[in-house]
Amino acid sequence: MSIQWFPGHMNAAKREAAEQMENIDLVIEVLDARLPEASCNPLVEELRKFRQRPCLKVLNKIDLADPNATAAWKAYYDAQEGVTAYPMTTKKPADVARIPDLALSLAPHRGVPTKPLRIMIMGIPNVGKSTLMNALLKKRVAKVGDEPAVTKTQQRLYLNKNVVLVDTPGMLWPKIAMASDGLMLAASHAIGTNALVEEEVAEYLGELLLVRYPQLLTARYGFKTEGMDGVAVIEGVAQRRGFRVRGGDFDYEKAAHTLLQDYRQGALGRISLETPESRAASLARHEAEVAEKARIAAEKAAAKAEEAARGKRGT
């Protein structure tokens, strides 16, 4: 299943971000700590690297993520040039309070009245960017909500006389290359419900949990996971919760929604959908698939050309 979602306002947001980047000193990219690379917008990387801007990657929602995976992601990002990772949660004011100092450490030539530090805050929809903005400024300046793409316009605000913040709408990118990324984003509620089939997303989540966190499924729903697949997980949720439709069949739709909500709200436990190692393996599989498709296409093109040549020769 390939999920794509790029509402019209995101095109405008991309153009505005590109225009502003020249006048920005630092990018704060807010990522979902449960899926840091899947929630990392390649457009952000492209824009900031073109202008050679440092980046503070905020790994938000660590209260929902596997702490071991989060530690691995911090090491992964800290090893990159011009990047510092900061695992945190906007639920803790002390975590938020550290951000200005971390930002100044990445742009030490700024942060004085004559040269205020200009920061652009970027991230995908529903990752907590607006909540972070409000927490930094200690007032409600950005709309927040448990739906993707709440913020639709850019705004410029002063954290203090030495720090300027530019808030941008949540942006995805025009084409999500790996199907697994789209499914992880959908499971984590970063994609509008009009672009997905919830039951298929829940089946993917169930498969992933069977591999990485089967014990959490057992603890939450009380069933044994041996021999299960994603469909069986949802049916198990329906059975344990008594979700049935008229006639006695499982209410598959309600059970799928419940599984997704339990993951999103942390009711299943602290879960990370990817690690640096699993990400590398996914990329390798994707590259192999792309290469195989290219090989098949080349063979078909060659066969078609040979057939055309034989026709011209009359053989």
Annotated binding site for GTP: 60-63, 126-131, 170
Name the CA dihedral angle for 81, 82, 88, 93, rounded to a multiple of 10 degrees: 160
Alpha-carbon span 228 to 203, nearest angstrom: 11
CA atoms within 13 A on the CB side of 74: 14
Cβ neighbours for 42, distance < 8 A, ≥ 6 positions apart: 173
Q: Which residue has the tokens 């959490």?
A: 216
Q: Which residue has the tokens 């008594």?
A: 242
H-state helical runs in the chain: 8-21, 42-50, 67-78, 93-97, 99-106, 129-137, 179-187, 198-212, 214-221, 230-241, 252-264, 276-313
C-alpha distances (whole Å) from 284 to each of 208, 218, 242, 277, 289 are 18, 31, 41, 11, 9
Known binding residues are 60-63, 126-131, 170
Phi and psi at 193, nearest 5°, equal -65, -20
C-alpha distances (whole Å) from 131 to each of 52, 114, 211 are 27, 29, 32
H-state helical runs in 107-229: 129-137, 179-187, 198-212, 214-221
